Amino acid sequence: VQLQASGGGLVQPGGSLRLSCAASKLFALHHYGMGWWRQAPGKERERVSCISGGDGSTYYDDSVKDRFSASWDDARKTTYLQMDNLKPEDTAVYYCVGDPFDRCDLGVAGHLSVWGQGTLVTVSS
Q: How do residues 54-108 score in pLDDT, each as one tens digit?
A: 888 999 999 999 999 999 888 888 999 999 999 999 999 999 999 999 999 888 8
For residue 86, what pLDDT is reported? 98
Residue 1 has pLDDT above 80, yes or no: no
- Alpha-carbon separation of residue 13 from 8, 21, 51, 84 (angstroms): 14, 23, 26, 10
Using 50, 70 and 90 to split pLDDT, how confident is the model at 28?
confident
The model's pLDDT over 29-59, given as tens digits with 9 standing for 90+, comes to 888 999 999 999 999 999 999 999 888 899 9
> Which element (helix H / strand E) includes 48?
strand 46-52
Residue 110 has pLDDT above 70, yes or no: yes
Report the alpha-carbon distance of residue 94 to residue 56 in Å, rounded.
Answer: 21
